């Protein structure tokens, strides 16, 4: 592995503060890693939504991680454009969300919002409805399944 790949894989393995089951690479928060000729490391991160309270924690974790890799000179930049989208989530992230009982964001939702159901993570039923638009985090809604009665969080598309 070259230096950039090593930094990417180390920093990418940092857990998301709000959903520790997922890494910042799983979520697509870690965008770019660069090293210039003098050995200065720049890391770009994009929060899942602007004003995300976990962002300072993520920035500090990334800085510490890069320093631990032997690069003392590091700048972590927050990049807000283009805005983060749930389409950047890895397939591994969607699988992990389901394992934790969270319905993953629907893919292609922006193209056909009314035709894609949120599946119940317990029984796969499409008969689910939203109980509350905001759950334990701003990213999540609370839904209920009409088939099995399960109440579950849904990671909203945006």
Binding stretches for Zn ion (CB under 5 A): 120, 122-123, 125, 145, 147-148, 150
Nearer of residues 138 and 151 to Zn ion, judged by Cβ: 151
Nearer of residues 127 and 133 to Zn ion, judged by Cβ: 127
Kindly state the smallest distance separating residue 91's Cβ from Zn ion, in Å.
22
**How many angstroms separate the CA atoms of 120 and 102, rounded?**
9
Nearer of residues 69 and 125 to Zn ion, judged by Cβ: 125
Instruction: Kindly compute the dihedral angle of the four CA atoms of residues 89, 95, 99, 101, in this order, to the nearest 10 degrees.
Output: 50
Element (H, E) at 98: helix 91-99
Whether residue 140 has a cis bond before it, omega within 30° of 0: no
Kindly state the smallest distance separating residue 124's Cβ from Zn ion, in Å.
7
> Residue 75 in contact with residue 41, Cβ under 8 Å?
yes
Kindly state the smallest distance separating residue 117's Cβ from Zn ion, in Å.
12
Kindly state the smallest distance separating residue 113's Cβ from Zn ion, in Å.
21
Nearer of residues 132 and 147 to Zn ion, judged by Cβ: 147
């Amino acid at each position: 592995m070259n230096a950039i790949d090593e930094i990417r894989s180390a920093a990418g393995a940092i857990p998301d503060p709000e959903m520790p089951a997922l890494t910042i690479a799983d979520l697509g928060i870690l965008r770019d890693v660069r090293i210039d000729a003098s050995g200065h490391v720049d890391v770009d991160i994009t929060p899942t939504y602007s004003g995300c309270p976990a962002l300072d924690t993520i920035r500090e974790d990334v800085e510490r991680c890069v320093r631990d890799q032997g690069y003392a000179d590091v700048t972590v930049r927050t990049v807000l454009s283009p805005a983060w989208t749930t389409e950047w989530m890895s397939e591994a992230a969607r699988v992990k969300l389901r394992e934790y009982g969270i319905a993953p964001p629907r893919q292609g939702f922006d193209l056909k919002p009314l035709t894609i159901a949120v599946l119940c993570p317990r029984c796969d039923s499409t008969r689910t409805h939203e109980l509350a638009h905001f759950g334990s985090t701003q990213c999540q809604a609370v839904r209920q399944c009409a088939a099995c009665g399960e109440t579950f969080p849904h990671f909203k598309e945006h």
